Structures are given as structure tokens and as C-alpha cells.
Chains A and B, each alone.
Chain A
Amino acid sequence: MGTAVFRDAWLIAGKDLRVEMRSRVGLNQIVPFAVTVLVLFAFALDTDQEALRTYAPGLFWVTVLLAALLAIGRSFAVDLADGASDRLLLSGIDPIAVFGGKALAVAVQLVVLEVLLGAGVVLLFDVTVHRYGLLVCAGLAAAAGVATAGTLYGALVAGLGVSETLLPVLLLPVVAPVLIGATRAFQDAFGVAGAEGWAWLGLLAGFAAIYGVFGALSYGALLEEA
């Protein structure tokens, strides 16, 4: 493993992001879906503005996770559509690079989604950001954690006829620590609770690192069995 792995990971990530930008599925479908979920939460809790502010971090991250399921599923659907997944195997690209590239592309999409949804939360839920540094770091770490775990489980179910329904069942319990940690960190950043935000950020970073290493090591075997 060397620079070739990083070069190939960058190649895969660039390809995935270019496909997403061209297809506009993220912009035209995933983002509107996520915004709709946020608005529905606002409708449901509309009479209690204080509750909206208090629960804004949790509602934000539930929304991100739901939208992430769509982004991860699509990342693999694009490869499967016309046999590109076989070509990837035949290309000789190291599976570590494939994993890293796909996870990076998903993470970038999640960060963009977080920025858009963050603006939505500020507008709809009337929250104020007190700690920008914590907010940004927690957002990046959580995106990395969801992307690495999601890419691993996405590969596991890719090609199965039931992948759309199986992915949420498998992935959501696994990323529960991300939901908890990111929510606590955002509570601190929004100043709505006295959570130790930086400590929770450590959990998020640890989760991303563990799934990054685990995914890189197991992705090759996973592709062989898929």
C-alpha cells in the first residue's frame, strides 16, 4: 500500500462525486427529502418553540441519518446499474482504495447536506450557535463515521434484491453511537444543554477511526463475497 492507494481512492471519490453532480439526484431528491423531514418535525412540535430548540440537535441528526441511507444506497446502485461493479473488481484497484474513495464521496455529500440542514435548523427551530469550532468538528467527525460504516454495510447488502430495506435495518443500530455523540456535541454547540461537547467529539472521532480501519481491512473480502 502506498501512494497508489491514495491516488486510486481520490479517483473513485472524484468519479462518484462527478456522477452525483451530473445526475442531480442529491440536489433534486435527497436534499428535498431531508428538508421535508425537518419541516415535518417543525410541524409536529410547532406549538412548543422551546421544545423545538431543545430537541433541534437530535432532530437534525435523525434527519441526516435518514438522508444518509439514501446517499449510501445510491452510491452502490450507480455501480450496479450497468455492471460497473464488476469492472471495478477487474480494474485491479486495491479494495482499500475503493472503500476509501466511496466513503470519502459519501462523507462529502453528507457535509454538504449538514450545511444545508444546519441553515434550515437555525431558521425553522430558532437556535443559536455558541461554539462554531465544536459544531464544525462534530459535523465532520459524524459525517466520517456515518460514511465509513455506511460504505461497509452498503457493500454488504449491494446486489441483494432487498438492499433498500435491509440497509436501514443493519446500519441504523450500528450508527446509534454517532447519533448520540453528535447530538450531545451539538447540544453543547447550540447551548441548549450542558453536555461535554468535546468529550463526545472524541467518541465520534473514535467511531470513525474504528470503522475506517475495519472497513479498509474487510472491504476486499466483502467484495469477493458480494
Chain B
Amino acid sequence: MTLLGRFPALTGVDLDISPGETVLLKGPNGAGKTTLLRLCAGLCSLASGQGWVLGHDLSEERRMVRRRVALLGHRTGLYDDLTVAENVGFWAQAAGASHQDVDEALERLSLAGRLADTRVGRLSAGQRRRASIASLVVRRPELWLLDEPHAGLDQQSRDTVDSLVRGAAAAGATVVLATHELERIAVLEPRVVSVVGGMVRSGGGDSEGDAPTDGDRRVS
């Protein structure tokens, strides 16, 4: 069980994701998708029960989990007063990545050149999102956790996100994402996991917002 404040955000989660798998978390707003992603990233603690991510115990080894995952959340994780290149460079150095990794990430996310020397605070929402993704790409994570990765993006940036997800999946990384843009992700043939009211149902093709049946397990 995971708590948000004093309230259980997820209860009785029973979810097994294989390495290299792509999983789509589906469910209405407030269902617990973000909490589940943050839990997998080691940013939320388990109030009860057990969980393992990439072989690490979520109760005892959250720091080990964090080193190996990338979480693209609603916020960019960037510093407005630093340029794109400085931001990506900072997170790259923190992860032990090289200058070449930074250049490649900027190129891949169409941020090289003038944009690289622009302060993040002066970028559009789509450009900021791409810069945020670039700062994650340099880490070469084994598990991608993407929370509404298409939200607020223009067509070019949405295509960039799609390319990222396809590239990560093709490279053998595990991808877990929560999005309402189902048709964009369908090409990856993800396993669909429904999250409704803090409960998780795995493998369904059920419609969004369906109430779980009595046979469903409550999930964190």
C-alpha cells in the first residue's frame, strides 16, 4: 500500500512487468497512475507490502532503483536560468555520462545549435519537454517511466516522444507509460494495465473508467 498523506493512494497492487516489456497504464485522472509511476521510480515509499524494481527491494534499496530509472513527470526537472546545454550537461555529469552523450541527446531531440544555448525559461512548453527528455536520455535508463508524455505538446514534439518510446523499446529497455493518447501507443502493442480508484487490473482491454469487479485485486 502507498499513502498520499494519510490516505491510501494505491492498495493491494499485484503487478509483474518483464524486462523489455512496454506497459500502458490506463485509467481516469486521479486513479493512481502517477503514484504508481513514482512508486516504481523509488520516489514513494510502501506503507505496507513488498515491491521490487529491476531486482531491487523498494523498501530497502530505493537509491539503487533511482539510479537505473528515468521518470518523465508533469514537471521538467530543469533550471530556468540555465541553458538547455547546461541543464542537460549537468544531469549528464551527475549520471557520469560524457560530453558526447550530451551532444547526441541534443541532436536526437532537435535541440542542437541555437536552442542549446537558450535559457530553458525562454523556451516554449514543447521545447522544454524535449529538453527534459534529453536530460533523461543521457542517463541511458533501463526503465522508462513516462507520465502523460504527450501532454501540452505540439505535433513535432509528440512525434519526438513517440520516437523516444519506440527507440527505448527497441533498445530493450522496459517502458511504463500513462497516457490518454492510446492510438499513438497502439503501434507498440503494449500490455494494457488499468488503474481505477487505486486498484490495478492487468492485461485488459477494458474501457477507461470501468469499475473493477469483485474478483479484481486492489492495487497500489
Contacts and interface: CB of A to CB of B under 8 A. Distances in A.
Contacts of B105: none
Interface in B175-199: none
Contacts of A23: 81
B91 interface: yes
A22 B120 CA distance: 12
Contacts of B90: 11, 15
Contact of A11 (B69, B77, B93): B93
- Interface size range on A against B: 20 to 34
A173 to B, nearest CB: 29
Contacts of B77: 82-84, 86-87
Interface of A: 8, 11, 15, 18-19, 22-23, 78, 81-84, 86-93, 224
B69 A90 contact: yes
B41 A83 contact: no
Given A86-B73, A89-B66, A90-B71, A22 B119 contact: yes
Nearest to A20: B81
A91 B43 contact: no
A19 B81 contact: yes
Given A81-B79, A90-B41, A90-B67, 19 more contacts: A15-B79, A15-B82, A15-B90, A18-B81, A18-B86, A19-B79, A19-B82, A22-B119, A78-B79, A81-B80, A82-B77, A86-B73, A86-B77, A89-B66, A90-B66, A90-B69, A90-B71, A91-B95, A92-B95
B99 interface: no
Contacts of B86: 18
Contacts of A82: 75-80
A18 B89 CA distance: 13
B94 interface: yes
Nearest to B76: A82
Given A11-B90, A86-B73, A92 B79 contact: no
22 contacts: A8-B94, A15-B90, A18-B81, A18-B82, A19-B79, A22-B82, A78-B81, A82-B77, A82-B78, A82-B79, A82-B80, A83-B75, A87-B77, A88-B94, A89-B42, A90-B41, A90-B69, A90-B71, A91-B66, A92-B66, A92-B94, A93-B94
B76 A22 contact: no
A97 to B, nearest CB: 9
Interface string B148-185: 00000000000000000000000000000000000000
Contacts of B79: 15, 19, 78, 81-82, 84
A122 to B, nearest CB: 33
Contacts of A90: 41-43, 66-67, 69-71
A53 B62 CA distance: 55
Nearest to A220: B63
- List 6 tightest A-B contacts by C-beta distance, closest first: A83-B75, A92-B67, A87-B77, A22-B81, A91-B94, A83-B77
A50 B122 CA distance: 52
Contacts of A11: 90, 93-94
B43 A89 contact: yes
